[in-house]
Amino acid sequence: MRLFLDTANIQEIRDGARLGVISGVTTNPSLAATEGIGDRESYKSAVQEIADIVDGPISVEVVSLDSAGMIDEGREIAEWIPDPWVKIPSTPDGFEAISTLAKDGIKVNQTLCFSVNQALLGAQAGSTVVSPFIGRLDDIGHEGIELVGEIVDVFEKHHIQTQVLAASIRHTLHCTMAAQVGAHIATVPYRVLLQMVQHPLTDAGLDRFISDWKKASGS
């Protein structure tokens, strides 16, 4: 399972990329707004800066609600960076846009997916990846991780090439479980990435190694 960073914060992306474990970035309009980005030109320049830092797919979301607008935006976004994944929502207009963009050879991250049927529709339309949202399903009392596993199983059973990107990850266990149920990619907030690194026994073990070494070397 590959790991992406789920943020539009340039510093977080720089810091995360330095670990050498990140192979892509996902953004969305809310993440962009958190960074004070609210117009096309600023989104474009932030995305270009992200693409300079991370050598991998960068997901950029459209904000139109109608298929024609999504297609126009998707075609424009596809010119911004070397490896764009255009994020299109799982709506009727979205499926129409996905099928047109996929025919153009543009890679699509089908976002806001909350059911196996939406994932199946996106796959037929030509989504490169589908993003089931774990945390938002948990928020309304469903086990979000189960959806990820169900989509993985159905895609495997039917030899569907669309990959499964576990999104809306809120904590480290989500990431572990996404890997266990076979997600191809998990996109994690920077905070969760840092938590994934941590283990108290690693810290305690390191303290012991260093203090034993200092004692033995008399330093």
Residues of this chain that bind ligand E4P (CB under 6 A): 6, 26, 28, 59, 111, 131, 133, 135-136, 167-168, 187
Considering the complex, state which of residue 69 and residue 135 has its C-beta at the smaller distance from ligand E4P. Answer: 135
Considering the complex, state which of residue 118 and residue 187 has its C-beta at the smaller distance from ligand E4P. Answer: 187
**Gyration radius of the chain's alpha carbons:** 19
Considering the complex, state which of residue 85 and residue 155 has its C-beta at the smaller distance from ligand E4P. Answer: 85
Considering the complex, state which of residue 133 and residue 155 has its C-beta at the smaller distance from ligand E4P. Answer: 133
CA 13, CA 214: separation in Å to the nearest integer? 36
Beta bridge partner(s), residue 187: 4
Q: How far is the CB of 39 from ligand E4P (least distance, A)?
A: 19
Please provide the DSSP assignment of the chain as one string: -EEEEE---HHHHHHHHHTT----EE--HHHHHHTT--SHHHHHHHHHHHHHH--S-EEEE---SSHHHHHHHHHHHTTTSSSEEEEEESSHHHHHHHHHHHHTT--EEEEEE-SHHHHHHHHHHT-SEEEEBHHHHHHTTS-HHHHHHHHHHHHHHTT---EEEEB---SHHHHHHHHHTT-SEEEE-HHHHHHHH--HHHHHHHHHHHHHHHHHHT-
Q: How far is the CB of 89 from ligand E4P (least distance, A)?
A: 10
Whether 87 is catalytic: yes
Token code pair at residue 208 = 């012991």
Considering the complex, state which of residue 194 and residue 216 has its C-beta at the smaller distance from ligand E4P. Answer: 194
Q: How far is the CB of 61 from ligand E4P (least distance, A)?
A: 7
In sequence order, which residues have a C-beta less than 8 Å from that of residue 18 and are 6 or more positions away? none
Q: How far is the CB of 41 from ligand E4P (least distance, A)?
A: 21
Q: How far is the CB of 111 from ligand E4P (least distance, A)?
A: 6
Kindly list the catalytic residues. Answer: 87
